[in-house]
Amino acid sequence: MQSTLNLENISDIVQLAIKEDIGKGDITSEIFIPKDSKSEGIFIANENGIVAGLPVAKYVLSQIDDNLVFTSNVEEGSRVSKGTAIANVKGSTQSILSAERLVLNFLQRLSGIATLTSKFVEKVKGYKTQIMDTRKTIPGSRSLERYAVRVGGGTNHRMGLYDQILVKDNHLKIIESEKENGTMNSLVKKARERIGRKMLIEVEVDDLSHVRDVLNAGVDIIMFDNMEPSKISEAIKTVKEYEKVRDTAMDKAILTEASGNITLENVESYAQTGVDRISVGMITHSAKVLDISLEIV
């Protein structure tokens, strides 16, 4: 699967990475490698997986030396096997060596996320469920990691705290302790007065007894947090019953989401409940990098 990436959105992190790694210069290469030396480097996958980050690799190389020529041998999002030459770079040997670790860091990390995401997506194939990411990302790298999730066949959740309302358990605890007008209806009404319909409102529930209250409040999405699949199945029945009797003339379908301790071993059991979305933190925070190396010809 291919996905778009706005390179302007990653400029800052690429420049930070260059400053962090190269700083004032690659002193080792400058001393031992002749300035006029030319080489070719081949990026090789050392294990099976999904390749993600080829446009990033090209962009990083251009920021270090715009005379370097980068060529992809496979398409972004391709499934490759061990030993595949996924791309090559030609030009100044000094520049290639200076860029090696930077490019590999991006390629390995993004390919690892895409590979793990694709495994989750494959597990729920045939169900209506979407695999979604979370905000559990490396600070500053969210745009890149969300991109890798899309390459792996997943779907992005909210970007941050600013583009969707998500009322979690800690919000509800604090609202209750501050003695706010804390009925769910009043909370959602307060949010609607502020944002209208331009943002989605999602509320987390962790018990079946709360589902009806959240539905009556008029939320867009219900998140079932750390609930067993059997309980989620019951909750979704309640959602469907509610949708049958409400006035649907102006309302969209209520989306359902499962979250919390979801793994490759149990994700299918959640998809079987009929839930619309499954958010999985581990596809970003625990993805193992894909082993890729650069070999100088």
Catalytic residues, by residue number, are 101, 136, 168, 204, 225
CA atoms within 13 A on the CB side of 106: 27
| Main-chain dihedrals φ then ψ at residue 100, nearest 5 degrees | -50, -60
Identity of the amino acid at 139: P
CA distance 158 to 161: 8
Cβ-contact 225, 281 below 8 angstroms: no
CA distance 55 to 70: 10
